[in-house]
Amino acid sequence: MAPVPISPIKVGHIDDVQELRKVKPTTIPERFIRDKAERPELASILSSPSNIPVVNFSKLINGNNRDEQHDEISKLRTACEEWGFFQVVNHEIDLSLLEGIEKVAKDFFMLPLEEKQKYPMMPGTVQGYGQAFVFSEDQKLDWCNMFALGVEPHCIRNPKLWPKKPAAFSETVEIYSREIRKLCKNLLKYVAMSLGLKGDVFEEMFGTAVQAVRMNYYPPCSRPDLVLGLSPHSDGSALTVLQQGKGSSVGLQILRENTWVPVQPIPNALVINIGDTIEVLTNGRYKSVEHRAVTHRENDRLSIVTFYAPNYEIELGPMPELVDENNPCKFRRYNHGEYNKHYVANKLQGKKTLEFAKIPNKNSSSKGLHPVPHQEYP
């Protein structure tokens, strides 16, 4: 298990937003109020959600109908090239399991604060209950409570952080994570095929893939125009799978053509996004996309996020098949564990962490490529 940072990180007092909402429902502490340039415009919060691409998983895996499968792989290619996000329907994960993971997640967040604080997310780490990616006392905070766990391989788990309550929590997370892992392996197979590569290229390359789950709870906020539920960022993973709680407010927004676009969840669908790792491996053909979460004045929101990434021992770089004279190499080769350390040792700042892997131009600085203390999963 990864140790905590060598140097103590001073983050100051962090209000628990659920408790704040209970005690002072109209108060927004200064640390949550964003600078004007970062604040979500009310128009973007209330605007009509965008129809991001939808991929029918059952058609992808239907080898008996080659034309149908080919068409769906083409849809997947377009989604990865033009959006970096898509929703998957007919994913073959039992709906009762989706309901079960939502229930245990919501039940955990509804526990008394003292019970949740038995599983603290220590500053500089990304497992446990609290807020991740906070590194200073003056850093702006997200209007969100998080609970995160490393799942696979077992060496990244911290057993002390797996809660005893609710009783079904651990078992449900185990079963859910197995199903999501299968989905990720399958999706990567078709992502590879959409690039004209062997279907098993990513599975062979990744080794024993790293998998983590994070549950996010966004209470209502009296001033959603002043805060963010989750800061803008791209994911360090290969794929990210997002389950949005049934009946939750629309909160996910993606940055498309310099505009924040809301994503309307399709009932029982899962939202998939491309992470930095796939951007590197495809030499920028498939790009990770900046996204954020906004809050709602009256409604809460729950989401369950799974991150799927290569093993920390794996060395990564653009695949030779995707580099040529017209598409010169954009990223250096690096150890995925080193990139992961870099990712979790920095606050969420758009796609800034991907600079770690970019080959600098002659005029650009190599600043920020030095080693950082050992941390945890993506």
CA pair distance 79, 190, nearest whole angstrom: 12
pLDDT category, 6, cuts 50, 70, 90?
Answer: very low
227, two tokens = 């805060």
Lowest-confidence pick of 130-144, 147-161, 203-217: 130-144
Alpha helices in the chain (DSSP H): 17-23, 42-46, 57-60, 66-82, 95-109, 113-116, 169-194, 201-206, 276-281, 336-344
Q: Report yes or no: 272 and 87 within 8 Å, Cβ to Cβ.
A: yes
pTM listed for this prediction:
0.91
First to last CA, the chain: 14
**CB-side neighbour CA atoms (13 Å) of 263:** 29
Residue 357 has pLDDT above 90, yes or no: no
What's the confidence (pLDDT) of residue 48?
A: 62
Digit-coded pLDDT (tens) for 305-348: 999 999 999 999 999 999 998 999 999 999 999 988 888 877 77
What's the confidence (pLDDT) of residue 136?
A: 86
What's the confidence (pLDDT) of residue 359?
A: 86
pLDDT category, 361, cuts 50, 70, 90?
Answer: low
pLDDT category, 302, cuts 50, 70, 90?
Answer: very high
Residue 39 has pLDDT above 90, yes or no: yes
Instruction: Using alpha carbons, select from 179, 126, 117 the residue that is nearest to residue 156.
Output: 126
Mean pLDDT score, 80-90: 96
Instruction: Using alpha carbons, select from 223, 253, 299 the residue that is nearest to residue 48.
Output: 253
What's the confidence (pLDDT) of residue 43?
A: 64
What's the confidence (pLDDT) of residue 343?
A: 85
Residue 370 has pLDDT above 80, yes or no: no
Collapsing DSSP to helix, strand or coil, 50 comes out as strand
pLDDT category, 86, cuts 50, 70, 90?
Answer: very high
Across the chain, mean pLDDT equals: 89
Q: What are phi and psi of 273, to 5 degrees?
A: -135, 150
124, two tokens = 């500089």
Bridge partners for 128 per DSSP: 148
Dihedral (Cα; 264, 267, 268, 272), 10-degree rounding? -10
Residue type, 11: V
Digit-coded pLDDT (tens) for 41-54: 876 665 666 689 99
